[in-house]
Structure 1
Amino acid sequence: MFQMKNSDKQVLKQAEERITELYNTVPHDNLVYHSIDHTKQVVERANEIAAHYDLSERDILVLNVAAWFHDAGHLYVDPTEHERKSVELMRLWCAETGESSGLADEAEPVIMATKLSTQPEGLIQEIIKDADTYHFGLPAFKKADKQMKKEMAMRNIGTMLMDWPGNTLALLETHRYFTSYCQDLLDEGKQKNMAKLKKKSETAAQNN
Structure 2
Amino acid sequence: MSGSNILVSAESYVRQLFSKQLPDKLCFHNLAHTEMVVKASKEISQGMQLTNEEREIILIAAWFHDTGYIRTYAGHEEESKNIAREFLQKNQYTPLKISKVLTCIAATQLEKAPKEISEKVLRDADLYHLSSSNYFKWLGLLRKEWETVLDSKVSDDQWHLQNLDFLHQHNYCTAYGQKKLEKGKQANLKKNIQALEGYYHDAQ
TM-score by length of 1: 0.89
1:60 is aligned to 55
Residue of 159, 162, 181 corresponding to 1:164: 159
2:20 is aligned to 25
Once the two structures are superposed, what CA deviation does each residue of 1:90-126 show, in whole Å capped at 9, x if it has no partner?
0111122232332221111100111122211021111
Q: Confirm whether residue 39 of structure 1 aligns to residue 34 of structure 2.
A: yes
The 5 A counterparts of 1:2-151 are: 7-78=2-73, 80-151=74-145
Change (3 A) 1:53 1:200: closer
Query: Per-residue deviation at 1:169?
Result: 1.0
Change (3 A) 1:110 1:27: closer
CA contact (8 A) 2:107 2:113 kept: yes
Unmatched tracts of structure 2, length 5 or more = none
RMSD: 1.9
1: CA distance between counterparts of 2:35 and 2:199? 34
2: CA distance between counterparts of 1:157 and 1:169? 21
1: CA distance between counterparts of 2:182 and 2:118? 20
1: CA distance between counterparts of 2:123 and 2:196? 26
Once the two structures are superposed, what CA deviation does each residue of 1:9-28 show, in whole Å capped at 9, x if it has no partner?
10011111110111111142
Aligned length: 201
Change (3 A) 1:27 1:68: closer
CA contact (8 A) 2:68 2:80 kept: yes
Change (3 A) 1:47 1:192: same
1:3 is aligned to none
1: CA distance between counterparts of 2:198 and 2:70? 35
1: CA distance between counterparts of 2:184 and 2:56? 30
> Percent identity among equivalent residues?
27
The residue type paired with residue 192 of structure 2 is: L
1:179 is aligned to 174
